[in-house]
Structure 1
C-alpha cells in the first residue's frame, strides 16, 4: 500500500514539474509534411493501416482507444471480413446472462476497442502509478496534433549532462519538462510490415500518428470534400448573381 501511495505521489509530482516547465519553457515541435494536410489533403490509407498495426502490436499493451468502434477501420481500407477477423482478436464484457452474471465474448466490428486494463486503478498499478492516456482523441487533444505525436515518439534520448531524472522517469526532448513515465516503446524493426515497408522508428512514429489522426477524425476526408464542393458552389453562385445583376442594371441605363 505504501509503495502504491509513493508511486501516486511521484506521478503527481512529475505532472506538477511538467506543468511548471511547460509554463516556463516553450517546447518547439517540428512540423512534418502530411498527405492529409491542407484543404485537398487526404489520409494515406496504407500509412494508417501500418499505424494501426503499430498501435495493435505495441501501443495497445498500455493505451486504450475506448471511444473508437472497430468498424471505423473500414475508413482506411479494411473490408468486412478483415474487420471481423480484427474484432475476433479482442474480447469484450457482455451480459448479464440468464444467471445474472457478466461474461466475456469475442468482439464484433460494432464494439469499441477494449481497454488493456479492467479499470484505471489496475492501469495505474501496472504503470508505477501513472495512468496511460486514452489515444482515441490524442491527435486532437495535444497542441501540434500529429506533429506532437510524431515528435514525442521520436524524442526519447539520453538526458543531457547535469539533468537528473526522477526515479522511473525517461528523458524526452519534446515533452514539457522533458521527464515522462512512458519508456521509449518504438524500436527499429519492432514490427514487421506486411507491405514490406522498412519499420524504422521514424516510419513507425509517422504511421501511428497518421492512424491516430484518422481515429480522432474519421470523417475528415469527407468533410474536406464537402467543403471543396461548397466553395465551388459559392463561386458559381457568385458568378451567376453578378451576371444577373449586370443584366438587370443594363436595362436601366
Structure 2
C-alpha cells in the first residue's frame, strides 16, 4: 500500500512539473519583448569579406602584417597578446632576423640577476607579447575602472568574432544622430544617455562601451606596402591579425578536413566494392509461394 501511494505521489509531482514547464514555455513564447534601446538599436556585425573565410580560405600575409602593425602601434597600448609568442610572427612572413629585432623592441618582465628583484628586459623570440599593465589594479586605474581584455582569443570569444571586431572598431558614432530604418534613437528613447566615461557604439551589446575610439583618422598608421590606412582598412587588417592570433592553424585545419573527407569517401568506395566481392557468390533464397488452387 505504501509503495502504491509513493507511485501516485511521484506521478503527481511529475504532472505538476510538466504543467509548470508548459506554462513557462508558453509565457516565454507569447510574452512581447521589451522594446529597450539596447534591443531596438543594437546592430549585428557587418560582413567584411576576409580572405581566410570559407572552406578554401587562405591567409593573406601582407594583410596580417598590416594588422600586426595596427595592433603594435594602436592596440598594444591597452591590450596584450598573452598566448602569442614573438617567434609565431614567422607565420606572417617575417624572417628570423626581423623577429629578433621586433622582439627586442618590446620590454618583457624579467628578474635582475644581481638583486633578484623584478625588472624588465628586451624581449627575445621565445617570449610572449607582454601585458601593458603590471596588474589589474593598474589596468583599472588607467581605464576608468575597466580592465582591457587580452586580445589573444578575442575573435573566438565573441559570436562572429572577426566581423564583430571590425564592426566595433568602425562603429563609433553620435547617439544624437544615430538612426535605424528612419527611426531616430533620440526620438524613440528620449531618456537614453551615455554615462560619463563611456562611448556610444551600436555594435556593443549595451550600446555604451568603455573603450574610446582607437582608430580616429586616416593615416593613423603608415603601411609599409603603401596601402591607404583608412579607418575601415585598419579595422579590417587588425581583425584579420587577431583572427590569426586566435586560430593560427585554421588553414591547416581546413586542409586536414578536406584530406579526411577524401579518405572517408575512398574508404566508403572500398567497403562497398568489398561487400560486392564477398557476397557475390551467395544467392538470395527464393521466397516460398503458395501453390495456385486448381
Same fold (TM over 0.5): yes
The answer for the alignment partner of 2:111 in structure 1 is 95
The answer for the alignment partner of 2:272 in structure 1 is 242
The answer for the alignment partner of 2:227 in structure 1 is 197
Q: Quick one: distance in 1 between partners of 2:130 and 2:167? A: 27
Q: Quick one: distance in 1 between partners of 2:231 and 2:40? A: 30
**Aligned with 1:248: secondary structure?**
helix
**1:46 aligns to 2:62 (yes or no):** yes
The answer for the alignment partner of 2:72 in structure 1 is 56
The answer for the alignment partner of 2:282 in structure 1 is 252
Moved more, 83-92 or 64-73: 64-73
**1:180 aligns to 2:196 (yes or no):** no
Q: Quick one: distance in 1 between partners of 2:164 and 2:77? A: 21
Q: Quick one: distance in 2 between partners of 1:100 and 1:21? A: 54
Q: Deviations over 1:144-186 (max 9, x none)?
A: 2101101100100111334421112111111112111111111
Q: Quick one: distance in 2 between partners of 1:243 and 1:34? A: 42
Q: Deviations over 1:47-85 (max 9, x none)?
A: 111100000000111111122111111112112111111
Of residues 225, 229, 250, the one that matches 2:255 is 225
Q: Quick one: distance in 1 between partners of 2:166 and 2:118? A: 39
In the superposition, the TM-score normalised over structure 2's length comes to: 0.75
Give the greater-gyration-radius structure (CA).
Answer: 2
Task: Output the aligned Cα RMSD.
Answer: 1.9
Of residues 153, 162, 173, the one that matches 1:157 is 173
TM alignment of 1:21-32, pairs within 5 A: 27-32=43-48
CA contact (8 A) 1:21 1:176 kept: no
Q: Deviations over 1:75-131 (max 9, x none)?
A: 121121111111010111222514322332110011010111111111111112111
Of residues 29, 33, 45, the one that matches 2:49 is 33
CA contact (8 A) 1:25 1:176 kept: no
The answer for the alignment partner of 2:153 in structure 1 is 137
Where in structure 1 are there 5+ consecutive unaligned residues?
A: 1-19
How far did residue 43 of structure 1 move? 2.0
How far did residue 22 of structure 1 move? 6.0
Q: Quick one: distance in 2 between partners of 1:123 and 1:47? A: 30
Higher relative contact order (CA 8 A, sep 6+): 1
**1:86 aligns to 2:116 (yes or no):** no
**Aligned with 2:151: secondary structure?**
coil
Moved more, 216-225 or 48-57: 216-225
How far did residue 140 of structure 1 move? 0.5
After TM superposition, the runs of 4+ consecutive aligned structure 1 residues lying more than 3 A away are 20-27
In the superposition, the TM-score normalised over structure 1's length comes to: 0.86
How far did residue 30 of structure 1 move? 2.2
Q: Deviations over 1:18-37 (max 9, x none)?
A: xx976787642223322111
**Aligned with 2:121: secondary structure?**
strand
